[in-house]
Amino acid sequence: MRYMIVAASALLVACSPSAPGQKAEEGETLQAELTSPVEAAEDADAAAPLLDPTALDFSRMALAMRIPTAFQAREEGARLQINVTNERLGVNVAEEFPLVQTSAVTSPFLASEAREGYRIWTYGTRPEDGPLLQAISAELARLKREAPGENELSFGAVAPGCWNETSQTPESLRRTLYIRVTPEADFELFVPEQEVGKGELPGLESFWGACDS
């Protein structure tokens, strides 16, 4: 299965390219190679999560974002977009779900990622969206079994924010993205730290507006 992952806050693209004419075999675990519309990650060999499409349960997935404390993430407007397609079978699922900020998240990995001058924001899905999210996960697993190598999954998240300091807004922010596939697992690095400049990526415009405006 070929799949692309667009991850929190910056509409970043992560893809798992195959050699020309090569398709993933059924049961194969695909490793995302993370890149950005702005620039490739500085460390091309940075660890990326191994995501088994047949094991994904979107209702239990969580995302996290580390950004400077001068920026404040907002819950209002945060959303998750999921697309599952198979052209031959006529499958085209496109759904959008609100995301909620979570607190009191226990994560040794996120604790180890804490840095002075930065805050980590965590997000999850709403319980009432669980049945539909589980149905999408089940459909993805079915397609993987019945039509391996013919499917495409993309999921993305947008988390708006604002500038909460009285000083002049900086021209860029450095942010890191994390994913937790199930509550039983810990978070892991999803997109290594990258510097995003003002106006460089769609979906981040709100971060350069004052929180009290």
Tens digits of residue pLDDT in 58-113: 999 999 999 999 888 888 888 888 999 999 999 999 999 999 999 888 999 999 99
User: What confidence score (pLDDT) does residue 165 get?
Assistant: 79
Task: Domain of residue 147: give its range.
Answer: 2-208
Residue 107 lies in a domain: yes
User: What confidence score (pLDDT) does residue 198 get?
Assistant: 81
Total of domains in the chain: 1
User: What confidence score (pLDDT) does residue 187 get?
Assistant: 95
Residues, the chain, total? Answer: 213
Residue 142 lies in a domain: yes
- Provide CB contacts within 8 A for 165, sequence distance 6+: 70
Q: What is the pTM of this model?
A: 0.72
Residue 19 lies in a domain: yes
Average pLDDT of each block of 10 consecutive residues along the chain (213 residues)?
A: 37 29 34 28 42 75 92 86 91 94 92 95 95 93 90 83 79 88 90 85 78 74
- Provide CB contacts within 8 A for 203, sequence distance 6+: 9, 10, 11, 158, 160
User: What confidence score (pLDDT) does residue 42 get?
Assistant: 36
User: What confidence score (pLDDT) does residue 85 get?
Assistant: 92
Residue 187 lies in a domain: yes
Residue 213 lies in a domain: no
The amino acid at residue 57 is D
Residue 87 lies in a domain: yes
